[in-house]
Amino acid sequence: MIDLTGKLALVTGGSRGIGRATAVRLAEAGADVVINFVTSQSAAAEVAAEVQRLGRRSATVKADVSEPEDVAAMIDFIGDQFGRLDILVSNAASGGFRTLLDAQPQHLDAAMHTNVLPLITLAQAARGLLVRDQGQDRAKIVALSSHGSRLGLPAYGLIGASKAALESIIRQLAYELGNDGVNCNVVLAGLVATDSTKHLPGAEEMFAAVQKQMLTGERPLTADDVADAVLFLSSPLSDLVQGATLVVDGGVSVRG
């Protein structure tokens, strides 16, 4: 039912974890996919090869999304090589787990520069490729958030604040771009086992506790489950979903 044939997607942080699963999901639905990475060149190349095996075009782009010049160069590359951009998944983020009481100003700067600023610089740089006339297929921006945007979690204050800002910025982007043919939405994911959660303090206990709170049976939440939600928000099925946050957590947050 979802057919993204002919569309071009960019997934930031597409080399690993949720970004990798998303890149593959979008390709399975027909999209060509550009994989952004910052350090994991060979992992990104593997994802691009997987996208190509599915019969889609792909490329890898090294860009530190916290650097506006890198973001601008990446979007220029996409314009030159593909001539379009239909789906922008702002997924890349980095850890920096620490308590607020131990945080220094540079730690807040780092969290905001990596997790928040890219949403703005990507939207600015890609605006010319994303905006559409009435009646044309809509473009999609999807950003990844977490429960830390709303809940207190151990050593998560900086990242949580960055995710809260990101959810606000998505709503503002929806306000600024919505009538120019662009949908801007968030997928808020529950806890998923990826490289990033390996560094989460108390991860093992947290996974065990979350598993007990889920309202969808015993299957743990996976990167593929999150990718499915991103796929929905990247597709025409969500054309009337605007400025929203879609929670994918097996119902954990229902319990409050």
Q: Which residue in this structure is represented by tokens 């610089």? A: 121
Catalytic position from the list 7, 140, 163, 212: 163
Confirm whether 163 is a catalytic residue. Answer: yes
Q: How far is CA 249 from CA 49, 85, 186, in A?
A: 30, 29, 13
When asked if residue 155 is in the footprint of ligand NAP (CB under 6 A), the reply is: no
**Torsion angle, alpha carbons of 149, 151, 152, 153, to 10:** -80
Which residue, 27 or 138, has its beta carbon nearer to ligand NAP?
Answer: 27
When asked if residue 185 is in the footprint of ligand NAP (CB under 6 A), the reply is: no
Q: How far is CA 65 from CA 92, 141, 202, 247, in A?
A: 8, 15, 28, 24
Residues numbered 52-71 forming contacts with ligand NAP, rule: CB under 6 A: 64-66
Catalytic position from the list 140, 156, 175, 212: 156
When asked if residue 38 is in the footprint of ligand NAP (CB under 6 A), the reply is: yes
Which residue, 15 or 183, has its beta carbon nearer to ligand NAP?
Answer: 15
When asked if residue 124 is in the footprint of ligand NAP (CB under 6 A), the reply is: no
When asked if residue 94 is in the footprint of ligand NAP (CB under 6 A), the reply is: yes
How many other CB atoms are found less than 10 A from the CB of residue 69?
Answer: 10
What's the closest the beta carbon of residue 156 comes to ligand NAP, in angstroms? 10
Residues contacting 176, CB < 8 A, separation 6+: none
Residues contacting 67, CB < 8 A, separation 6+: none
When asked if residue 235 is in the footprint of ligand NAP (CB under 6 A), the reply is: no
* CA-based radius of gyration for the chain: 17
**Torsion angle, alpha carbons of 242, 248, 252, 253, to 10:** -10
When asked if residue 189 is in the footprint of ligand NAP (CB under 6 A), the reply is: yes
Among 3, 195, 224, 239, binds ligand NAP (CB under 6 A): 195
Provide the binding-site residues for ligand NAP, judged by CB under 6 A. Answer: 12-13, 15-19, 36-40, 43, 64-66, 91-94, 114, 144, 146, 189, 191-192, 194-197
Q: Which residues are catalytic?
A: 156, 163
